[in-house]
Amino acid sequence: MLKVLFFAQLREVLNTDSLELASQATVAELRAVLMTKGEIWKEYLASDSCLVAVNQTMASDKSALKDGDEVAFFPPVTGG
Amino acid sequence: MVMSVSVQSQDFDQADEYQQLIKDNIKDGAVVCFVGLVRDFNQGSDITGLQIEHYPAMTTQSIEKIVEQAINKWPLGRVRVVHRFGTLALGEQIVFVGVTSAHRQAAFQGAEFIMDYLKTQAPFWKKETTKTGQHWVAAKHTDKHAADKW
């Protein structure tokens, strides 16, 4: 299983802060599975501005996943 | 090199932070401190307050990685970063970056680098409250450009 987290605007528009999903080989494959959950998921997860971290480290679509990983999706950061 | 990072909801005292940077530190002749505050005007509307969300499991380690990059670029003595989250009112302190070095150039540049990277790499998100509602702050290209220059 993968633990999938959503933050900020993404958490609000998807009305989801976390969920568990069957393991996928890569971030791109996980993203494709999530995009089947509805139009709003497709729109926001397809965006270039949707960033991803795997096990709390910034990652990309090519990043490999393994069972038990924590994957977080979020918009560009605005701290500081 | 001494590095200390805190991510917290409570306020900080710049005077205390400064004292920690200079206490028993006789080799560094330069200290640069930056404090970021909640201001009343941003991206076209009057702000009445701010909420900052973060990714607790990732935030501290992402800031530590930024500080490590700064240490690899400049001869820094001590680095202290405090970043707040939660609900903040106008004029409240958001972030503190304090850097010491033997000479001022490294201290100025190290502090600026850490702030530029904090704004584009650390997982914080600001939501502004205005008289007509709330909105998420959009990331600014100028912040991206500022980080890219290093």
Nearest to B122 among A5, A57, A79 (CB): A79
Q: Which residues pair with B85 in a beta bridge?
A: none
pLDDT by residue (tens digit) across B41-79?
A: 776 668 889 999 999 999 999 999 999 999 999 999 999
**Mutating which of B95, B137, B140, B144 best tests the A interface, going by the most A Cβ atoms within 10 A?**
B137
The yes/no answer to whether this complex scores an ipTM above 0.90 is yes
pLDDT, residue B150, reads 86
Q: Are strands B45-54 and B30-37 parallel, antiparallel or unpaired?
A: unpaired
- Mean pLDDT confidence for A3-13: 97
pLDDT, residue B131, reads 87
Does the CA dihedral A8-A13-A18-A20 come out positive or negative? negative
Q: Which of B122, B48, B116 is nearest to B85 (CA)?
A: B122
pLDDT, residue A8, reads 97
The DSSP string of B24-69 is: T--S--EEEEEEEE--SEETTEEEEEEEEEE-HHHHHHHHHHHHHH
Helix (H, G, I), strand (E, B) or coil at A37: coil
pLDDT by residue (tens digit) across B92-150?
A: 999 999 999 999 999 999 999 999 999 999 999 999 998 889 999 988 888 888 888 88
pLDDT, residue B55, reads 98
Closest Cα in chain A to B65? A57
pLDDT by residue (tens digit) across A13-37?
A: 999 999 999 999 999 999 999 999 9
Q: Which of B50, B46, B42, B64 is nearest to B93 (CA)?
A: B50
Q: pTM above the 0.90 mark? A: yes
Contact A37, A16 (CB under 8 A): no
Cα B109 vs. chain centroid, distance in angstroms?
Answer: 14
Residue type, B134: Q
pLDDT, residue B142, reads 85
Residue A8 C-alpha, separation from nearest chain B C-alpha, in angstroms: 6
Residue B95 C-alpha, separation from nearest chain A C-alpha, in angstroms: 6
Q: Which of B54, B76, B68 is nearest to B8 (CA)?
A: B54
